[in-house]
Amino acid sequence: MYNYLKETNEKALPPNRRSFDHNELSVNLKTRITIIENESYLAQSIASKLSAIGYQTEIFNSVNKAMEESHGDIYLVSSNIPGQSITPLLFKFKEKVIILMVNYSNNDLIAKALRSGANDYIVKPFMIDELQKKIEHYAEYAALKQEIETYKAYQDYCLRNIYIGDNLSKISLPLVIETNYIAMIDKLVFSYAEKVGKLVSFLPLKSKDWKEKIAATSPNQLLYVSNLQTLAKNEREKLFHLVKGKQFIIATTNPVECDYKTLTLNTNDKLFDGSEVLSIDEYIIFVIKQYQKQFPDTVLSKKLGFSRKSLWERRKKYGIFREK
């Protein structure tokens, strides 16, 4: 039987290609490779070499069985398993990483597979190093994709109760926003970036290397600078000099003089997050809105330290009405 894996002279490789560190091994151990190949010798050979460099592997000689029983992160799929179509598998595992193993570079076959959900292909015979590079690339891609999705879900959860109204239509770059609620501007910036398809480079001014980070920001990115009020006047001047020519939104809780368009956005619907001191009125509004669905008025008024009638009067004063 023909050996579809090219042999590699291990001693001829540079030292950094002959071994891997423990961090690389720990990453590999978290990645399961599913091999779908009807030629058992080739499948075993690939599995053995991948296992030797730290990957978990599983082998299937049937597309249908793999669709029912496999649990891989990355799929290596032979393109020529007799009597079996790989299209259903590509559709079912379209959220996974799929690398097609082809006997020759067939443009029509490869194009169809890529359209159906495959990520890449490799032509037999191949060296295990070539395959390993592709696997490492897509494993890193999948991990980063998952990380981004997790952070995005967490960001949306944290900002879910913040109301930005029609303020999105008021945004034009570059822009300085004066506000009494930085979190509202956070949501406004991320919503705007999603709307216009821009990447956000978030820069907290508490970072010691903020000047270097601004200088390294691409002109095509949306630079978001928060809490300008924390800088002294001379530092603010340096900041405005550094952002010249960039697409930015700068948020501040204090009025500031500058040569850029300034927008004032305030709200009475602030949510307390522990990062600032609220006035008594702001605190009462926060507690009523946050807990009115959790507690009846008798309990809520008692926790706030006044009567139920006083709670009713404050609802009327603040324009907060209990939802029925």
Given this model, what pLDDT does residue 275 score? 59
Beta strand 200-204 with 222-226 is: parallel
Residue 315 CA: distances (Å) to CA of 283, 288, 294, 311: 13, 8, 16, 6
**Size (the chain), residues:** 324
Q: What is the CATH number assigned to the segment(s) 167-265?
A: 3.40.50.300
126's CB contacts (< 8 A; 6+ apart) are 4, 5, 6, 101
Given this model, what pLDDT does residue 22 score? 39
Query: What is the separation of C-alpha 248 from the centre of its chain, rounded to a whole number of angstroms?
Result: 21
Given this model, what pLDDT does residue 262 score? 95
Beta strand 56-60 with 32-36 is: parallel
Given this model, what pLDDT does residue 1 score? 39
Contact 178/202 with Cβ under 8 angstroms? no
Given this model, what pLDDT does residue 106 score? 74
Given this model, what pLDDT does residue 274 score? 56
Q: What span, in angstroms and rounded, lies between the C-alpha atoms of 256 and 229?
A: 8
- Read off the pTM: 0.66
Given this model, what pLDDT does residue 324 score? 58
Given this model, what pLDDT does residue 280 score? 85
Given this model, what pLDDT does residue 134 score? 94
Domain borders along the chain are 5-151, 167-265, 280-318
Given this model, what pLDDT does residue 90 score? 92
First to last CA, the chain: 75
Which residues of the chain fall short of a pLDDT of 70? 1-29, 269-276, 323-324
Please name the fold of domain 5-151: Rossmann fold (3.40.50)
Nearest-5° angle of CA 262, CA 256, CA 158?
A: 70
Is the fold of 5-151 the same as that of 167-265?
A: yes
